[in-house]
Structure 1
Amino acid sequence: MGIKLTFVQADGVEKTFEDVPTGQSLMEVGRFNNVEGILGDCGGSCACATCHVYVSAPWRAVVGEPDDIETSTLDMATDVLPGQSRLCCQIQLRDELDGLQVTVAPSF
């Protein structure tokens, strides 16, 4: 049994996915399910910031902070919100993230 995830697209449309297998990145789920704004142009190598999301308040501590490489890559993104912005290619899905909600950041 997998976990439940919700993406809120920039247009306000919510896309919820249930029974998502852990062990993959949040970006992979978004791309596979055609979530608008999750491009992942670099394929998940933390080099492009085209999978920028905002982590909702209740989930920030569970998701954790970006590392130095991710922080540097976020410098290329627009509309970065300190404490909320993450690259979803760097969020590896695990059981503790069951119910996670993120909002897709506006595109470049």
Structure 2
Amino acid sequence: MNIEQLREYCLNKKETSEGFPFNDNVLVFKVFGKMFVLTGLDSWEKSEAAINLKADPHYSEELRAEYSSIRPGYHMSKKHWNTLYIDEGQLESKLILKLIDHSYDMVVKTLPKKLQDTLK
């Protein structure tokens, strides 16, 4: 997976927007203004690609136990966010996409019912 594939996948999700709310290096994808993916652009340039994704706390623990390339969220809530180190080569694209979907779904669950209904 490269940054353009990540970007295309995220932007194809309903009501998703992208932006740089922190600085011109941290690309953030949001659904209805709530973050579900963050990535540092410089990490992709240095072949150290990493993305932060929201996850269910129990699922996070399982993922971290199974994959050394999934660690507590860097500069994020360690309980609710994971950092996936893409360039360590342990994570297949299929799993990464599944975890992006999970992050999106976790955020959608926190939205008001009316907004959730617009995504169906």
Q: Give the TM-score normalised by structure 1.
A: 0.39
Relative to total residues, which structure has the larger helix share, 1 or 2? 2
Q: Which has the higher contact order (CA 8 A, sep 6+)?
A: 1
Q: Give the TM-score normalised by structure 2.
A: 0.36
